[in-house]
């Protein structure tokens, strides 16, 4: 199955990162975002990322030029033609994603694939909004995409073997290592990661240690590059809370209940690095 032309919907940090690694792999990419300013910033982020790789000697100038020539930007997915694969990378909002998939169902050629970068929303439910549920799959990249090696592949109830095999091959072409998860809340990474971050929030709330001591203890005691509270700030506390709520609701176990301190910070607008304040000030 051909995967030479992909559409990436969403030009934020994740979407731009996905587009960049696809371009580095020699794919033709149409980057789509309804926000013109956001689209321009996304394209600039991609070009800056490619330039940095050239400066580091990890990409030659000819491949940089070819990659930039393979990038097109649109404010509507309907403007893209002959699309083999669509990768949706917008905000974690199920209604929004389902609306986008309805549109992508009409944009991607017959036999093409619809992928979502969701970190928590059931693939089966997203697929049910389309006329081709067998061609829908989760393709969860890690942030920052150009640096992180992992891609979680999530098969919905109807995802075909051909769809899985094609997307796995495409991810490997992008230089990624893949793992496969069943379509259960949180998949693999967030099923394990979010409870850890949430427990760090409880530890802070209960006065077990300061934010700095909790993070230092986990970094040096478990050989992690970043402490859990700092990582939560980097992900976005609103996103951490949202996924914790998905786990709590989807699995029905009280051990996944979101920490009240985490909820309070989100209510205050303290989302972490992106807002200038979370468990730390930026």
Non-local CB neighbours of 225 within 8 Å, separated by 6+ positions: 219
Non-local CB neighbours of 17 within 8 Å, separated by 6+ positions: 49, 141, 143, 144, 145, 146
The residues assigned a catalytic role are 119, 140, 152, 190
Instruction: Give all strands of the β-sheet with 150-155 in edge-to-edge order.
Output: 71-74, 28-32, 5-9, 83-88, 108-116, 136-141, 150-155, 177-182
Residue 12 annotated as binding site = yes
CA distance 47 to 67: 9
Q: What does DSSP say about strands 150-155 and 177-182: parallel, antiparallel, or unpaired?
A: parallel
Residue 143 annotated as binding site = yes
Residue 92 annotated as binding site = yes
Looking at the DSSP bridge assignments, the partners of residue 177 are 150
Residue 14 annotated as binding site = yes
CB 152 within 8 A of CB 140: yes
Cα 41 versus chain centre, distance:
18
Residue 15 annotated as binding site = yes
Residue count of the chain, please give it. Answer: 282
Q: What does DSSP say about strands 5-9 and 28-32: parallel, antiparallel, or unpaired?
A: parallel
Residue 35 annotated as binding site = no
- What is the 8-class DSSP label of residue 142? P
Residue 97 annotated as binding site = yes
Residue numbering of the annotated binding site = 10-15, 33, 92, 97, 119, 143, 274
Residue numbering of the annotated binding site for NAD(+) = 10-15, 33, 92, 97, 119, 143, 274
């Amino acid at each position: 199955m051909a995967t030479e032309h992909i559409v990436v919907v969403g030009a934020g940090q994740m979407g731009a990162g996905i587009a960049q690694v696809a371009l580095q792999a020699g794919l033709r990419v149409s980057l789509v975002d309804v926000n013109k300013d956001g689209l321009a910033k996304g394209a600039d982020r991609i070009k800056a990322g490619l330039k940095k790789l050239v400066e580091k000697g990890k990409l030659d100038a000819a491949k940089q030029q070819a990659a930039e020539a393979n990038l097109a930007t649109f404010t509507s997915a309907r403007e893209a033609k002959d699309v083999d694969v669509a990768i949706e990378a917008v905000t974690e909002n199920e209604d929004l994603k389902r609306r986008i998939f309805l549109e992508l169902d009409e944009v991607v050629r017959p036999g093409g694939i619809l992928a979502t970068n969701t970190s928590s929303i059931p693939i089966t439910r997203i697929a049910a909004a389309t006329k081709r549920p067998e061609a829908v799959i989760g393709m969860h990249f890690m942030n920052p995409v150009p640096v992180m090696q992992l891609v979680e592949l999530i098969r919905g109830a109807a995802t075909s073997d051909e769809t899985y095999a094609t997307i796995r091959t495409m991810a490997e072409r992008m230089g990624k290592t893949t793992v496969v998860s069943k379509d259960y809340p949180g998949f693999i990474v967030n099923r394990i990661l979010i409870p850890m971050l949430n427990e760090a929030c409880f530890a802070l709330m209960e006065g077990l240690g300061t934010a700095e001591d909790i993070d230092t203890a986990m970094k040096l005691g478990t050989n992690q590059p970043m402490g859990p509270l700092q990582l939560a700030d980097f992900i976005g506390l609103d996103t951490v809370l949202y996924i914790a709520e998905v786990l709590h609701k989807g699995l029905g176990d009280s051990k996944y209940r979101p920490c009240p301190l985490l909820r309070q910070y989100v209510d205050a607008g303290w989302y972490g690095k992106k807002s200038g304040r979370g468990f730390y000030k930026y």
